[in-house]
């Protein structure tokens, strides 16, 4: 059966070819287990590079105007791209 | 006044930019061993999760001074001139005890704590608490220790809301020699790393609050050092093009810490504060 792997890439800006500053990988097959702090280098240099390796983009970050009075507030990473691969796996 | 030299303005600017300062080997090994023995012996009790009827439950909010008197090694650690000078530089005199906890990670613990910020989302703009993380024994990378993210402290998130994130390009693991200290702004993003060794890992964390306005309480002899602007402008990379927002927020904190309401770097805030129609000040 097919199972889903999710790769979440946090890009420098809204462009899919901008550099990656953070990343996460969640493997629905259970073959790989990833956790905080387990890698020093991102798996791809950009979202576009991941696409060229067969990852499908399933979420683009929305571009939102900042709230009035909080234009300089920072919190979560803004440019979160979610990608998937469906891979054959045992039940 | 402590005997050791307080932090310099350049070091303070580094704290404002990074949200952390690291001091390797600041605690002598014999004293660190004695502190570890006190912790292994069960003391001092932490108010975190303590029985409301226990004495420790009433510690939070009390002066730090003298609170650990029944644990002489830990008291001596906090009274080391170099350690006391760091605390005084960041908080001013007579800090308030918040809580402490001895984090012990068992041998062969392969699990990483998810990324998080401590306590709850903290809307204070200028005042900050500090968290002192003591690593009394050698902590090589395969033992952990605490991973932290330089430049994350001014981002307002609530505790484990950031747990989805796994890795950042600028993350740093506190792998260090015995007796090392990591001092963090309360907002720093961090996570305890796996301990893949055969020995348990202990990290003693102590959170302190300021009693006074945190303004020019460090060694200000170098306050006009032109390198301060460069330090405040550090780009840690992982937040991409938001670096200028980070710098703007650091400039605001630096203004609060120094009392210099016009301080700026590269005209970032001066430019947007120039609004003649609104009657606000113009540059110069």
| Selection from B97, B44, B42, B37 nearest residue B70 by Cα | B44
**What pLDDT score does B282 carry?**
59
Query: Which tens digits make up the pLDDT trace of A16-46?
Result: 999 999 999 999 999 999 999 999 999 999 9
Residues of B with CB under 8 A from a CB of A: 111-115, 147, 154-157, 161-169, 171, 173, 191, 193-194, 237-242, 245-246, 248-249
- In the predicted model, what is the mean pLDDT of residues B255-271? 97
Where does B9-209 sit in CATH, by number? 2.60.120.620
**What pLDDT score does B2 carry?**
47
| Selection from B254, B257, B256 nearest residue B229 by Cα | B254
CB-based contact A57:A33 (threshold 8 Å) = no
pLDDT at B281 over 90: no
ipTM more than 0.85? Answer: yes
Distance (Å, whole) CA B269 – CA B284 = 13
In chain B, where the domains are located? 9-209, 224-278
The alpha-carbon gap from B43 to the nearest alpha carbon of chain A, in Å, equals 30
Query: Which tens digits make up the pLDDT trace of A51-72?
Result: 999 999 999 999 999 999 999 9
Distance (Å, whole) CA B228 – CA B230 = 5
| Selection from B213, B258, B255, B184 nearest residue B18 by Cα | B184
Write out chain A residues lying below 8 Å of B165, CB-based. 10, 22, 24, 36, 77
| Selection from B129, B238, B102 nearest residue B183 by Cα | B129
**What Cα–Cα distance (Å) separates residue B196 from each residue in A46, B32, B140, B143, B234?**
32, 22, 10, 6, 33
Confidence of residue B50 (pLDDT cuts 50, 70, 90): confident
Distance (Å, whole) CA B104 – CA B39 = 10
Confidence of residue B54 (pLDDT cuts 50, 70, 90): confident
More confident residue, B50 or B231: B231
**What pLDDT score does B49 carry?**
77
- In the predicted model, what is the mean pLDDT of residues B109-134? 96
| Selection from B102, B112, B166, B193 nearest residue A27 by Cα | B166
Write out chain A residues lying below 8 Å of B190, CB-based. none
**Mean pLDDT of chain B, nearest integer:** 95
- In the predicted model, what is the mean pLDDT of residues B204-227? 98
The alpha-carbon gap from A13 to the nearest alpha carbon of chain B, in Å, equals 6
């Amino acid at each position: 059966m097919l199972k889903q792997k999710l790769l979440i890439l946090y890009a420098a800006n809204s462009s899919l070819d901008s550099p990656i500053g953070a990343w996460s990988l969640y493997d629905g097959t259970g073959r790989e287990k990833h956790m905080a702090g387990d890698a020093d280098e991102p798996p791809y240099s950009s979202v576009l590079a991941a696409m060229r390796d067969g990852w499908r983009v399933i979420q683009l970050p929305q571009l939102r105007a900042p709230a009035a009075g909080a234009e300089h507030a920072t919190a979560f990473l803004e440019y979160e791209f979610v990608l998937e691969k469906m891979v054959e796996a045992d039940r | 006044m402590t005997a050791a030299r307080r932090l310099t303005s350049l070091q303070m600017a580094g704290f404002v930019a990074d949200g952390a300062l690291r001091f390797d080997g600041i605690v002598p090994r014999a004293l660190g061993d004695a502190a570890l023995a006190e912790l292994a012996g069960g003391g001092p009790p932490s108010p975190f999760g303590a029985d409301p009827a226990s004495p420790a439950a009433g510690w939070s909010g009390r002066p730090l001074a003298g609170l650990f008197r029944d644990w002489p090694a830990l008291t001596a650690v906090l009274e080391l001139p170099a350690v006391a000078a760091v605390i005084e530089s960041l908080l001013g005199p007579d800090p308030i005890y918040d809580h402490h906890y001895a984090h012990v990670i068992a041998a062969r613990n392969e699990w990483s704590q998810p990324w998080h910020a401590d306590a709850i989302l903290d809307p204070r703009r200028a005042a900050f608490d500090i968290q002192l993380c003591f690593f009394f024994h050698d902590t090589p990378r395969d033992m952990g220790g605490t991973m932290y993210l330089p430049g994350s402290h001014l981002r307002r998130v609530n505790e484990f809301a950031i747990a989805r994130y796994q890795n950042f390009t600028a993350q740093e693991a506190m792998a260090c020699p015995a007796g090392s200290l990591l001092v963090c702004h309360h907002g720093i993003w961090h996570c305890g790393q796996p301990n893949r060794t055969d020995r348990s890992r202990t990290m003693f964390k102590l959170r302190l609050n300021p009693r006074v306005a945190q303004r020019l309480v460090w060694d200000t002899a170098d306050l006009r050092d032109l390198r301060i602007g460069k330090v405040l402008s550090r780009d840690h990379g992982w937040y991409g093009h938001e670096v200028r927002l980070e710098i703007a927020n650091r400039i605001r904190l630096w203004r609060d810490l120094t009392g210099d309401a016009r301080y700026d770097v590269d005209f970032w805030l001066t430019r947007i504060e120039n609004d003649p129609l609104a009657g606000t000040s113009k540059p110069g």
